[in-house]
Amino acid sequence: MTAVTKAEQLGTNVRTRRSLFGGVAGFAACASFGGPLSALARPHHHAAAHAKAAAAASDVPAAPVGTPANTPIGPFDTVARWAYIVDSSTGAVLLDKSADERMAPSSLTKMMTAYIVFGMLATGRLHLEQGLPVSEKAWRTQGSKMFVPLGESVLVSELIQGMVIQSGNDACVVLAEGIAGSEERFVAMMNEEAPKIGLTNSHFMNVTGLPAEGHYMSAHDVATVAMHLIRDFPQYYHFFGETEFTFNKIRQGNRNVLVDKGLADGLKTGHTDAGGFGLCASSSRNGNRVIVVINGTASSNERAHEGERLMSWAFANFENATLFRKGQVVDHAPVWMGEHKAVPLVAGADIVMTMPVGWQQRSHIAVDYASPVIAPVVEGQACGAIVISAPGMGDIRVPLQAGASVAKLGLVGRAMARLGHGPAN
């Protein structure tokens, strides 16, 4: 079987397996976000020494006293009670610590509030230069404030800045009342939208994140909202990256220290007694975008330090690799009883994967398909898989497709083939 040129360039070994394709396994695709086929195997536990060596090799600062999170390259300590890191381009999970547990999300809730607001803007039902009235309820809302003036109107653009930069609870209530008529009806919109965008462990009781029984999110869900904000509303994402905002002659800086230091381009922080200090931050480097979520740290300083440390660790230890391009011929499979002796097998989409740094020296790529393929063959039909293996990871299987159609031989041709004289030999 002819070797695959691209695989040779990647330093991998390609072979043909004479086995039937059994579907996609050990494979975390990001289809729900509409991106290219991408994957990273689910985390496997390794010795703690492996994790320490990996951290040392990548110049990531030593971990503070904490407990281990699961990562594809072994346990990695973090002081955060809940943590989740995902590559938003591929959907690959880089770190997971109790990421599907319910937690008090505090002001991370405002990311979901912003998602609904941005949706209204995108459909034209709300406008940035539109003014919304300030009710007494909004004016009296406690916690972090934008300091909206009672009885006056505030522009939607200013309210968004007050919500995401200053973390103003009052701004959130003004937006909710202006859009839905009441905070309660706006919260119903949030809960209705949540499962539509893939949230599985979230329920909202208010638009601010102020403590309330039955109000919760998971770190995984926070990252999912972040992904959707970045993907669905890129025209409004810049609000999360603004470092300061002055309203009513009061200047306030962005509470997200990673944004202030230029280490992230968004999103949000939060704090309550129940949830501790939390953060969701995103950054793009060399074409890779990573989202970091932590919650349950002990102070704003610890939150900032841990967020920076985990962001640096993610970029230092993982990279995205394009293994094959859409339509690229990976192999040629023999065809039985076809007008042509072989059919090209191609990648059905760009195969972009998040892999540990140095994966080329440790990975193995194979093709797995039933041989020979029985004619007729229709272009685009499933014909096996590419199988990627690496130490510490389960096999990742990516579907292959027929790159051309091959008609079945006619009656005479099939007879000759059975006698050993036709193109099916």
Q: Say whether 38 is catalytic.
A: no
Give the DSSP letter of residue 41.
Answer: P
Of 88, 98, 167, 371, which residue is the catalytic one? Answer: 167
Of 6, 97, 110, 145, which residue is the catalytic one? Answer: 110
Does residue 268 have a known ligand-binding role? yes
Of 89, 98, 106, 107, which residue is the catalytic one? Answer: 107
Q: Helices 169-180 and 109-122 meet at what angle, rounded to 10?
A: 40
DSSP three-state, residue 330 = strand
Q: Say whether 107 is catalytic.
A: yes
Q: Say whether 110 is catalytic.
A: yes
Nearest to 167 by CA among 269, 260, 251: 269
Burial call 326-347: b when 16+ CB within 10 Å, e when fewer: eebbbbbbbbbbbbbebbbbbb
List binding-site positions: 268
Residues noted as catalytic: 107, 110, 167
List binding-site positions for substrate: 268
